[in-house]
Amino acid sequence: MWLRWLRWWGHPALLRTVIVNQRVPRDEAIRGVLWRARGPYLVLREAFLLRLNTPHMRIDGEVVIERANVAFVQGLPDGDLS
């Protein structure tokens, strides 16, 4: 019950795996679980840095992304860890 309330109150992709495409640098994106969306920031956990023509790089801890630098957010289907 509380999880449904939390999803209603927060970002539609909250607690789901997403790919955040950034404005700068354009050739990078970050994949992770959208943990928090507060004010001008998005917080991701279990994140990976995605770059063109390179393997995924795991990022330790939480990643804070300024919303002004977000081009768009892609939601991944549940259970998709690739």
Q: By the 8 A CB rule, do 14 and 66 touch?
A: no
Query: What are the structural domains of the chain?
Result: 2-75 (2.30.30.100)
Q: DSSP letter string over 19-47?
A: EEEESSSTTEEEEEEEEEEETTEEEEEEE
More confident residue, 40 or 1: 40
Element (H, E) at 73: strand 70-75
Q: Could you give the 3-state DSSP secondary structure of residue 7? A: helix
Q: How much of the chain, in percent, has pLDDT values that exceed 70?
A: 78
Q: Give the pLDDT confidence of 50-76 residue by residue, as tens digits.
A: 998 999 999 999 999 999 999 999 988
What is the structure's pLDDT at 47? 96
The pTM of this model reads 0.77
The Cα 73–Cα 36 span in angstroms is 14
Quote the mean pLDDT of the chain: 83
